[in-house]
Amino acid sequence: MRNGEPLRIIIADDHPVVVFGIKALLREHGAGIRVVGEAGSGRELLALLPRCECDLLITDYSMPDAAGAEDGMAWLKRLRRDYPSLPVIVLTMIHNPALVRGMLGAGVNGVVGKAAMTHELLLAIGAVAAGRTYVGEHMREALAEVQGQDAGQDRSLAGDDPSTLSRREAEVVRLYASGLTITQIAERVHRSVKTVSQQKNNAMRKLGLTSNSQLYEYARVWGLLT
């Protein structure tokens, strides 16, 4: 409840079944909550927000045609830039610690896995409405595990900036994400292929990344692309 009034929520997701599921959950268990709007794309949401007052936004991580692309982090940053005080909960299938930290660093107030939505979304709404940050249980466990792997390093939920990497590791990440192969990077920086490959693997381990696509996303988020 908000000063005795229902908490006004907008839901944004390009999958109608997800929107339906959230609305059903809130109707059944969300006392003091009212859905005042819904959007099926980023374009729809950006048109809806100026004319529909709300207290909280629940949105998918990546919204089609938001800012002309399906770029999740850019979408969240634009949302935070245009609506800096609007509480935002992200529903996502992503559980990668580095990207979750990136979402929080972009100003998101809560992150909930879609698979755990039915038992965690209401907890997230309550926490965010009270001014706290909420991260889903499995995501918290993944974050804690990654933090424990590098006990000597300062890792925060706000995100791993490139300073957590050595200078050479950051260089390899930047060149790899820019499209060069390991062999091409080795030729450019005058190191062996084995050394460059190890530096790339070390960087991914430190950042909690498990795929090349996640490494590219990290490099893009932190402005490492040339």
In CATH, the number for domain 7-142 is 3.40.50.2300
Question: Whose CA is closest to 79, among 50, 52, 100, 51?
Answer: 50
List helix spans (H) across 150-192. Answer: 167-177, 182-189
What confidence score (pLDDT) does residue 206 get? 83
Q: In what order do the strands lie in the sheet with 33-39?
A: 33-39, 7-12, 56-60, 88-92, 110-113, 134-135
The domain locations on the chain are 7-142, 161-221
Can you tell me the distance from the alpha carbon of 137 to that of 120, in angstroms, rounded to the nearest whole number?
8
Can you tell me the distance from the alpha carbon of 155 to that of 141, in angstroms, rounded to the nearest whole number?
14
What confidence score (pLDDT) does residue 153 get? 39
What confidence score (pLDDT) does residue 92 get? 87
pLDDT along the chain (226 residues), means of 10: 82 93 91 94 92 95 58 79 94 80 85 89 92 87 60 39 74 84 92 94 85 76 62
Tokens linked to 50: 């100026």
What confidence score (pLDDT) does residue 122 get? 93
What confidence score (pLDDT) does residue 127 get? 92
Helix or strand (DSSP H, E) at 200: helix 193-207
What confidence score (pLDDT) does residue 225 get? 60
Can you tell me the distance from the alpha carbon of 125 to that of 119, in angstroms, rounded to the nearest whole number?
11
- Chain centroid to Cα 142, Å, comes to 14
What confidence score (pLDDT) does residue 86 get? 96
pTM of the predicted structure, to 2 decimals: 0.66
What confidence score (pLDDT) does residue 221 get? 66
Can you tell me the distance from the alpha carbon of 84 to that of 63, in angstroms, rounded to the nearest whole number?
19
In CATH, the number for domain 161-221 is 1.10.10.10
What confidence score (pLDDT) does residue 178 get? 77
Q: CB count, 10 Å around CB of 157?
A: 16
